[in-house]
Structures are given as structure tokens and as C-alpha cells.
Structure 1
Amino acid sequence: MTTSPVCFSLPTLIYQAIFLLVLSNSRGSVASLPEQHAAMHSTPDVVPQGDGVQGADLPGHLKPLGSHRPPEDPGIDVLHRVPDPLDFFNRYVKDGSPVIFKGAAQNMDSYKLWTDEYLSKSYGHLKVEVEEGKKENRSKDLWHMSLSNFIQKYQKEDVYLVTDVPPEMSDEFCLLRCLLCGGFPTSLVDTILWYSSGGTKSVLHFDGVDNINCIMDGSKEVFLVDKREQANINIDHPEQSFSGVDVDKVDLTKYPGLGQVPWYNVTMERGDCLFIPYRWFHAVRSWGRNLAVNVWFIHRLWFNETDCSDELMALPEYVPLSSFKTRASHLEILRSEIANGIEVYGGLITVEEMYDLIQRSTKQQITQLFQSLDQNGDKKLSMKEAYSESFAEACKSADISFDKEKDDEEEVEEGDEEEEEDDIGGEVENDEAHRSTGREEEHEEL
């Protein structure tokens, strides 16, 4: 029996990393919490959930996420200077520890220039993707419209711009110095622009990549949970790596783990940048006119010193995004996910464990990929085998393709045939195909 090729899209690969890494226990100073949000966290410690305990007796039941107990103290590290790439890798990326860089974006042009008036005048003609609803619901549509049309609507309507940073705007947003060498520039996956009138609420989820989010306007409050707490987080939508819990009204009878999980509160203010490590669980709320950009990049297991100069401290504060033309290939994203799995399982991985890593592929295809990579035939895959030169050929022989350009061309052809009007009003594509289901899977808060 033959199987049809599986084409891995970027969202699919991002959401299918389902393994854990060992974390360090070091923590620094706590991120500040605005007084207007403090009431949300002033709840008693969690109580045992034994037999006979009713939902009404559970602290935080049917209340906003984070109401079950105060956030951890001390909180995550807070730095007032962005570290060099090697320091960033060793202290935060390698073992997965979040950190907030206070004011790190304040000298970027995007921070200084991106008012509604400037964006409408300079980039209003650009096509962007807009989500229906500021409280994230992944069953809703994603619309296409011009940036100027969105700006006319967003203060009055329940819409949220979530789109790739357009190339035309990439001179004004920058990568921080911590990403300027060490393998990070070639590990970039995507950069996403988030734009709303505030009041957005994301689902509780995790990303299969590392993430730096910089806020240009407004503030964000992040509910953050260590990836080691996976037993307490019910990711009941594994295909998109999120939990179906209502973040405004947590049902602790359905999601009991959320009644005891320790968590960190991070408040991002205008100009701040937050590093959220690979696989950490998070949910995000925004306040006021809100404009942010996040950078997704492959979780690296080692630091590549060959692309760094001897003078790491001499690196600039940041470099425009437009200077980085290369993005990580789908093949490298898949390979890095397998490598992270090998790391978790102590240096070797079996075919059964690979079934969990590549969920959208058939077992037959995964078995074929595994057998092609298992060069010594010991039925275990090593890091050396995962990084063999035959990886691309092994994917091909297993009918696992990475033809993103072909997919993108098909999407463009479909888009060209559509009309530019919709129920939201204005220039939006009207055909059923206007719904960008692939992007809908990829876009999540932060």
C-alpha cells in the first residue's frame, strides 16, 4: 500500500515539537506587576483536591487564569542590558530560562515611528492578515485586507492584526544583539507583527521554537509556566499545541492541574522584549493600543562560534531585520526537533518515540525515515545519525516533502481569483478560500 507525500508547512513543524529539555533552576529579580492587575493574583494558596472537594471550594475555580495562587517569587530574570549571543545562549537558551530585557526596543525605528498615522501613510497599501476576535478562537476566520483598512477599523471592531512583518517594514524593526551570531541568524523561523486596540487574550499554549517578543506600544501581561510542569497542563488540542481551557473562567474540575501549577507573572511595558523559551506554556493579555513583533527561532542545542568575531562585546545593539535574508528551512526545523527529542531521551531515540515527534506523518512514513537514518541498524537513532548528510534523501525516500514554495504559489494563485470584499466591510477577500487556515494554525499570541 502506497502513501501520498506529506508536505510539511512551517506551522505544522512549529507545533509538533513535543519533547522536554532539562532546565536550570536559577532565577533572578521579579518582573513588576501593575497595581491595576494585582487583584487578579491576590488569591489564597491552592488546597488539596481530594474526594468530596467541589468546584466552588477550589481556589481560582471559574476565575481568570492565575487566580489559583500568587505567582512565583522571585520571578524571572530582568536585565537592563541585552547580553551578547554566547552569554544569552549559556544563561537562557541552552537550558531554557525566560528573561525580560527592559527597554531593549526603545531605540528601534519601529518603537519611534509606528503610530497609526505613520503606518497608514507609509504602508497602508500593504496586504495584511487579520484575525476575527481579540479573544483567541482558532476556529474563527483569518481575513486579508490592506493595513490602512485595518487601521480604520481596529479601534471600533473586534479584530486583531496578526501577520508576517512585511519586507517593506523590515528596515524599521531590528534583531537584538543576542541573536546576531552563534548560529541564531540562520535559525530564524518567522517574525510576526501583532496589532490591536488592546484587550486581546490568547489561549494557553506552547511554541515548538524559541521566541523573543518586543512591544512597541501598550503593555502585555504573560502567564508563564515552566515546561517541566507538563503534567499539570492539559494540552487537549495537541495538533495546535494549545489547551481548550477558558482563560477568563478556568474550570478546575475539567483542568485540575491548573489549580496547583506554579506560574510566573511577567508584565511587559512599552519598549520591553521578552524571551520565552521553547516549550514553556504561556497565555497573554494585552492592554491599550498594542503593537508588538515576535521573532521565532529554532531551539539550538549548541552555540556556533564560527560565525562570531572575537569581540562579542563589540556587537551593535541591534541590526535591521532586512539584513537577514536567510530563514531556517523546513528540513532544518524538522531535524532540530528530532535532535531535541534525542537530547531529551538521553542521546538515543526509538522509532516509537519518533511517532510522537512527527504526528502529522503516517507511522509507515516515520518508520521509513527512521530506518533510512539508522545507519548501524541498532534500532536507535543517535545525534550523529540525525545530522548525517543523508537526512534530506531520507525524508525524500519516506515521502516527506518540504515544498513550501509550491504551497505558497498555490495560495497566491487561489488568492488572485478572489474578490476583495467581506462581511467585516472593506477590502477583504470574499471567497471561502480567503480563510488562511495554515496561518490560523501558526498565529498565536507571542
Structure 2
Amino acid sequence: MRWNDWYLIVKHGGVEMEVDFAKNERSGSHYEEMRLVDFLQRYKHSDLYMVDTIPKTMMKEVYLPQSLSCGGFTQRLQDMKLWLSNGGTASTLHMDNMDNLNCMISGTKDWFLIEKEVTEKWQLHHDDGEEIAVDVERVDMYRYPALRNIPWWSARVPPGDCLYVPQGWYHQVRSHGRNMAVNIWWTPMSIFNHSDCTKGRGHRSPVQLSTLKVRPGKQIRFVLRTLLEEYGGELPKEMVQSLVLYQGESIITDSVFTEFDLNRDAWLSVAEIEALKDSTVEALLPDVQLQGVDTYGRCQAYNNTGGQSNVR
């Protein structure tokens, strides 16, 4: 791939990208929009760290990995991001509510991963949505004794390789050297349909990312269904509205809930979410890309405040 600094400056220098001013996510992130040319002229001698959706003009030069070209993945895409730094970055210990494939273009990344089934048994404090309040530089084993013996995986990913990270797997990532990666996010699927994977096997034409469409409605439905399943399969209107937030704001307004509540009983159920079409959800919640909602401890807190029970 030709994406060295000189090529990017000449070909794509004018595009605007979101830049983080801190490599360590625990040190307090500050984001700004910056032209790619300005970032590339500064990042090698600073803590600047670029993480943003790949601009359409650049997507024309990136192709979908063959492993995602069949089986329904292209119908569940949510985002395609570009990550670029001069190395030395360190993420928090966190999980994502989407599956993703992280592919290295230059540099290496070291991954620390914990299976979803293991983390579900933890009793750790979730301080910010999908992150765990662990200082990855100095892990406090007294505060988090479960980490002493927890089984984990590690991987070092070099240029040209990709790592699949399943939804719900907690992970922490460190980067080394001029570090460029592309990752592709999609809504998890409960059943893998491989019927189209045998057709033209080994002879499929490369697919440009720019030709693919993201489908936020599918992820919103997945998040809502997961939330409802965690609370027994259904929730009352006011609890749904208090739990489902986007950028800190409630997005399930009265009018949106009315459209979701197909039987008009003021409760939202898994069956009602399953009956909705992606296009309907996207029309009701335009420009919303809902990765997940923070449900940790909310059910108990809600019931302790005298709210309506989540079971009827």
C-alpha cells in the first residue's frame, strides 16, 4: 500500500481528520479537527494520534479483506476507521459492542485480550460505559484481585496481518513504530450464512470500501435487543429512555418510542425490536451510530429509587 507520509500529503493532504492530542487514553483526551497535511508534519515529534472514519476519497484506495466479502458481513458494516501515530500509544482496557477486524499497514500492535465469557464473571467497576477503571500502566491487584489469575490472550500484529476482535472481548492495545492501521466494524451476527462463500471462491473481484454502505439501523437494533435481553426481555418506556443515550443525550423520545412500541402497551420487547426494519430505525434516528449503552448496575439502581420494576 502506498500510504507513506509523502504520498498522503500530496494525494490527500487537504482532508479533515479528527486528531487526539494524547497517546494514552487515561491521560485525558482532547480532540480537534485537523488537515491531514498538518497532522503529518507534526505527529512524528508529538503525542498527536489520529483516529477517524476513513474519508470517502481515501476509501477508494482501500479494499475489503476477502474474509469479509461473503457470509453477510457487507450487510452489517458500521464503520471503517484509520489509525495513525508515531507509536507509543496505549489504550484503556475496554470492550466494543461490535465485531471488528484490525489490519496493520505499518508498525506493530501488541494486544492483550480477555474472552467475553470470562469478563462476564468479573466483579469490576465500570467507570465509563465500556471501559474498566484499571490503570494499565500500574494495575492495582488489591483493587482488582480477579485480574491475578484471569486467563488472557496476547498477540503481536505486524504489517500485512489482521486481528479479529469479537464483540464483548475486553482488550488493551499498545502500538510501536510509525503505526498505521485500518479497522472495519460490523454488527455481530447470531448465525453465519456461508451459502454465498463457495461461489467464485478465490476469484472474487476486490471490493473498494467506498462502494460499501454502513447500516446503523442494524447496530441500533442489536444494541436495543441486547439491552432488553439483559433485563429479562422487555422494559418500560421510561427505563428505555433513561438507558439509551447517544453522546450523553436520551434519543428514545416519546414519538420514537411510540413507533417502536408496536402493541402500544408502553413497554418495549425483544419481539418488537425484531419486527422493526433497519430502514425504519434509521429514519427515526438519523445520524445516530449507537455502539452500545451502559447498563452496568442500572437495573438495581433504578429499582432502588422506587422506579417501576423491570419485570411484570
Q: Could you say if the C-alpha distance between residues 363 and 189 of structure 1 is closer, same or farther in structure 2, counting changes exceeding 3 Å?
A: closer
Q: Could you say if the C-alpha distance between residues 336 and 148 of structure 1 is closer, same or farther in structure 2, counting changes exceeding 3 Å?
A: same
Q: Which has the higher contact order (CA 8 A, sep 6+)?
A: 1
C-alpha separation in 2, matches of 1:247 and 1:403: 36
Are 2:91 and 1:197 equivalent residues in the alignment? no
Query: Pick from 199, 203, 216: which aligns with 1:311?
Result: 199
Are 2:305 and 1:381 equivalent residues in the alignment? no
Q: Deviations over 1:78-125 (max 9, x none)?
A: xxxxxxxxxxxxxxxxxxxxxxxxxxxxxxxxxx20111111111111
Are 2:238 and 1:350 equivalent residues in the alignment? no
Counterpart residue number, 1:416:
none
More strand by share: 2
Counterpart residue number, 1:279:
168
Q: Is the 8 A contact 1:370 1:381 kept in 2?
A: no
Identity of counterpart residues, as a percentage? 30
Give the residue type in structure 2 aligned to 1:404.
D
Counterpart residue number, 1:327:
214
Q: Is the 8 A contact 1:218 1:290 kept in 2?
A: yes
Q: Which ranges in structure 1 are unaligned for 5 or more consecutive residues?
A: 1-111, 408-437, 439-446
Deviation at 1:252, TM superposition (A): 1.4
User: Normalised by the size of structure 2, how large is the TM-score?
Assistant: 0.78
Counterpart residue number, 1:137:
26
C-alpha separation in 1, matches of 2:251 and 2:188: 25
Give the residue type in structure 1 aligned to 2:275.
S
- Which moves more between the two structures, 201-210 or 256-265? 256-265
C-alpha separation in 2, matches of 1:395 and 1:171: 25
- Which moves more between the two structures, 127-136 or 333-342? 333-342
Greater gyration radius: 1
Are 2:127 and 1:237 equivalent residues in the alignment? yes
Q: Is the 8 A contact 1:162 1:192 kept in 2?
A: yes
C-alpha separation in 2, matches of 1:180 and 1:393: 26
> Aligned to 2:45, what secondary structure does the other structure show?
coil
Are 2:299 and 1:404 equivalent residues in the alignment? no
User: Normalised by the size of structure 1, how large is the TM-score?
Assistant: 0.56
C-alpha separation in 2, matches of 1:163 and 1:260: 35
C-alpha separation in 2, matches of 1:394 and 1:194: 30
Q: Could you say if the C-alpha distance between residues 394 and 169 of structure 1 is closer, same or farther in structure 2, counting changes exceeding 3 Å?
A: closer
Query: Pick from 255, 262, 268: which aligns with 2:144?
Result: 255
Counterpart residue number, 2:50:
161
Deviation at 1:137, TM superposition (A): 3.3
Instruction: Quote the RMSD (CA, aligned, Å).
Output: 3.6
> Aligned to 1:137, what secondary structure does the other structure show?
helix
Q: Could you say if the C-alpha distance between residues 318 and 242 of structure 1 is closer, same or farther in structure 2, counting changes exceeding 3 Å?
A: farther
* Number of residue pairs the alignment of both structures matches: 285
- Which moves more between the two structures, 123-132 or 368-377? 368-377
Query: Pick from 199, 218, 222: which aligns with 1:336?
Result: 222
Counterpart residue number, 1:173:
62
Alignment of 1:55-70 (within 5 A): none
